[in-house]
Amino acid sequence: MSRFAEVIVLALDACEVMEPLTRDDESRSWRGRFVPIDSQWPGSFVIGWATEFERMRPRTGLFAYLEALPWPRPESVQVLIHDEEDSCFGLWMLEEGKLVEVALPQTRRYHLPAPPTDEFPPSPGVLVRTDKIGHDQLQQTPEAERDQRRAW
């Protein structure tokens, strides 16, 4: 399924940890590679890396992979994701070793009901600004009816 998503990883002192993720690696569950976000000052430190996914299936497993990395400063790890249907970037941070979405002011994530089979990759839902016209027309799927698999 086509669904573009931009992913930015911000982390202090993580150049060594992120370097292998700047290369393609067929052994990973997710497909792609990150590129460093260069500072406006050449030779300065790098604290950000970005990638883009064109489809949903190649991004499956990204969070588990990031969670397993030996971050030198895990409290600084932030993952920003803008899925093509989102109103804005969402924010995830490490909490007890797991990436957890941080609730942002004036936003709400809406989920679809789970598909009948695991044939399709899990959907991350849609992050919507609550100050956006029409947001109140969306229906939230009850927790028990959502896909329990991780979308990332």
Non-local CB neighbours of 108 within 8 Å, separated by 6+ positions = 127, 128, 130, 135, 140
Q: Is position 57 within any domain?
A: yes
pTM for this model (two decimals): 0.88
Query: How far is the C-alpha of 122 from the C-alpha of 112, rounded, in Å?
Result: 10
The percentage of the chain sitting over the pLDDT mark of 90, rounded to a whole number, equals 50
Query: Is 9 part of any domain?
Result: yes
- Rounded to an integer, the average pLDDT of 41-59 is 77
Number of domains in the chain: 1
Residue 51 placed within a domain? yes
pLDDT for the residue numbered 120: 80
Q: Tell which residue, 104, 108, 102, has the closest CA to residue 139.
A: 108
